[in-house]
């Protein structure tokens, strides 16, 4: 057990956990941020995607001890009230079915648009390929990303 000071969504937070604890479980069990989802625990589904220093990262593969001063952003911190252009695009395209994977998809998509504001279809597919949607909403996800890219630069 050790005490970790983490910068999450712009705030300093503290958790006393085993150093090997994945950030996923620190967020969910200790910091009460449950928007980051557990899907596989082996980095294969992307439901747990967060931003680490602005880059998409699978939080089930990130031990808390490795975070240090790096900034964590979760879906709860992506925008004040669900108003991020990617979230808005998700709503206007009515993407979700069961909805469980969508926070991870949104985190992956928003990280992509930060590094590539105008991604091609192929770039979207590559960046998003680590995020599974078992309901199969991929067509709408891609449309939402294209729409967010367009709207953010109008």
Q: Which residues bind another protein (CB under 8 A)?
A: 1, 17-18, 20-22, 25, 28-30, 32-45, 47, 74-76, 81-82, 87, 90-91, 94-103, 106, 121, 124-126, 128-142
Kindly state the smallest distance separating residue 62's Cβ from another protein, in Å: 13
Q: Are 62 and 22 in contact (CB under 8 A)?
A: yes
- Pick the closer one to another protein by CB: 53 or 94: 94
| Torsions phi, psi for 4 (to 5 deg) | -120, 135
User: DSSP 3-state assignment of 4?
Assistant: strand
Residue 8: closest CA among 63, 67, 72: 72
| Residue closer to another protein (CB basis): 71 or 130 | 130
Output the smallest distance, CB 153 to another protein, in A.
Answer: 21
Planar angle of CA 148, 134, 87, nearest 5 degrees: 20
CA max distance for the chain: 49
CB 78 to another protein: min, Å: 8
Nearer Cβ to another protein, position 128 or 149? 128
């Amino acid at each position: 057990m050790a005490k970790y000071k983490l910068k999450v969504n712009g705030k300093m937070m503290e958790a006393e956990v085993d150093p090997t604890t994945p950030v996923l479980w620190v967020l969910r069990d200790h910091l009460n941020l449950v928007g980051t989802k557990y899907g596989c625990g082996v980095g294969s589904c992307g439901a747990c995607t967060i931003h680490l220093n602005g880059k998409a990262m699978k939080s089930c593969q990130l031990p808390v001890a490795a975070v240090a001063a790096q900034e964590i952003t979760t879906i709860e911190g992506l925008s004040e009230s669900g108003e991020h252009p990617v979230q808005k695009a998700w709503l206007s395209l009515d993407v979700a079915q069961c909805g469980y994977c969508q926070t991870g998809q949104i985190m992956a998509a928003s990280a992509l648009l930060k590094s590539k504001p105008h991604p091609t279809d192929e770039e979207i597919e590559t960046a998003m390929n680590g995020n599974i949607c078992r309901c199969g909403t991929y067509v709408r996800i891609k449309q939402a990303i294209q729409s967010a890219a367009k709207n953010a630069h109008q």
